[in-house]
């Protein structure tokens, strides 16, 4: 199969488009024929990109863990799925990823992709959508009528967080550059703050939840904005254990986890038109280096996706094969 691999740790310059063996399936694994995988701008800096679950090095290694494709094989007893199903998901980080024509992934991590969008758009949902869902609802316990401040509102996670918080009935405040104001308001933001011209702490106070996707001093400046026992959740930087107590608040840094149930709920929201998917750019698999280079630029709106297979060509080939089979039966 064709794949993007790294033979040494580094940045986009280490990415190589080359032939690779198809993945070996472990117990409980499904094999997925990949159509698209979305990339995360910081992925090449993660230890998990280069390590197995036991911490041993994994080279060569394949990046990309958010994907959409077709089920090729399933383990015995796999519930809710069939060979040929269109699925999307988030693969385990300490394994080879989906920047390849095939992926081995736990069958329990797969969900049926949204019916109303293609594989490219579906692949853009999984990591960012799950991160936003888990931050707001699993960890943040956001309720209708509460207020949430979302730093990086136009980024990959922020786009979903703004929409999900609005859907939940929260008062949504987002930080962004002025160029994204109208876009974020169209997604449901009630207030938007231009962080390039205004210190957000001068405009916001007494929020129930802060979701940080920026890091740096943004976290330090956000503690004072929380209500008593409010919560700051960061997906960009760790939080010192004693910091929340100093401010009478709660704090958490977390890493997203796969969840079929949450993916099912996200797919329902996409299919109902409640959740919109923002694509920054689409690159063919062979141009992964250029895709990751673009991802390292600041202020990218939405997700960057690698298209592994052309969906239209696949559909045409499938229809032609099926027509040939029917014709031979009729003969």
Confidence category of residue 318, pLDDT binned at 50, 70, 90: very low
Per the structure block, which two tokens stand in for 140? 């943040």
User: Is 136 among the domain residues?
Assistant: yes
CATH assignment of the domain containing 8:
3.90.180.10
Confidence category of residue 146, pLDDT binned at 50, 70, 90: very high
Confidence category of residue 321, pLDDT binned at 50, 70, 90: very low
User: Is 267 among the domain residues?
Assistant: no
User: Is 258 among the domain residues?
Assistant: no
Residue that has been written with the tokens 């986009």 in this structure: 12
Per the structure block, which two tokens stand in for 51? 């390590």
CA–CA dist 52, 93 (Å, integer): 9
> Alpha-carbon torsion 295, 296, 297, 301, what sign?
positive
Q: Which residues contact 183 (CB under 8 A, 6 or more apart)?
A: 154, 301
Report which of 309, 251, 297 is spatially closest to residue 101, judged by C-alpha positions: 309
Q: Which residues contact 275 (CB under 8 A, 6 or more apart)?
A: 125, 129, 160, 163, 164, 167, 266, 269
Report yes or no: 165 and 263 within 8 Å, Cβ to Cβ: no
The verdict on 78 and 115 lying in the same domain is yes
Number of domains observed in the structure of the chain = 2
Q: pLDDT of 41-66, one tens digit each?
A: 899 999 999 999 999 999 999 999 99
Structural domain range at position 245: 128-253
Mean pLDDT of 90-104: 97
Q: How far is CA 290 from the centre of its chain?
A: 19
The verdict on 19 and 112 lying in the same domain is yes
Q: How far is CA 249 from the centre of its chain?
A: 28
Cβ neighbours around 103 below 10 Å, total: 30
Q: pLDDT of 174-233, one tens digit each?
A: 999 999 999 999 999 999 999 989 999 999 999 999 999 999 999 999 999 999 999 999
């Amino acid at each position: 199969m064709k794949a993007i691999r790294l033979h040494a740790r580094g940045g986009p310059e280490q990415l190589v488009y080359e032939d690779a063996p198809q993945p070996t399936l472990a117990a409980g694994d499904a094999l997925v024929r990949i159509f698209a995988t979305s990339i995360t701008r910081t992925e090449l800096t993660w230890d998990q990109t280069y390590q197995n679950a036991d911490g041993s090095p994994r080279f060569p290694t394949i990046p990309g863990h958010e994907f959409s494709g077709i089920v090729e094989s399933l383990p015995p007893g796999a519930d809710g799925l069939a060979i040929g199903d269109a699925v999307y998901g988030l693969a385990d980080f300490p394994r080879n990823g989906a920047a390849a024509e095939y992926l081995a992934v736990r069958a329990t991590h797969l969900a049926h992709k949204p019916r109303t969008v293609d594989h490219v758009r579906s692949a853009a949902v999984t990591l960012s959508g799950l991160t936003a869902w888990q931050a707001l609802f699993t960890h943040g316990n956001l309720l209708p009528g509460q207020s949430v401040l979302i730093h990086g509102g136009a980024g990959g996670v922020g786009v979903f967080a703004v929409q999900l918080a609005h859907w939940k009935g929260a008062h949504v405040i987002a930080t962004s550059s002025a160029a994204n104001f109208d876009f974020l308001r169209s997604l449901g933001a009630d207030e938007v703050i231009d962080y390039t011209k205004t210190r957000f702490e001068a405009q916001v106070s007494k929020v129930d939840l802060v979701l940080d996707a920026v890091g740096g001093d943004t976290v330090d400046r956000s503690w004072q904005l929380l209500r008593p026992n409010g919560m700051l959740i960061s997906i960009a930087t760790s939080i010192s254990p004693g910091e929340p107590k100093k401010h009478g608040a709660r704090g958490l840094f977390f890493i997203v986890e796969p969840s079929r149930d949450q993916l099912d709920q996200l797919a329902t929201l996409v299919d109902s038109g409640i959740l919109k998917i923002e694509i920054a750019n689409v690159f063919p698999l062979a141009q992964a280096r250029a895709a990751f280079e673009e991802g390292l630029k600041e202020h990218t709106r939405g997700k960057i996706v690698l298209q592994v297979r052309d969906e239209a060509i696949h559909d045409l080939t499938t229809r032609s094969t099926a027509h040939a089979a029917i014709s031979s039966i009729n003969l």
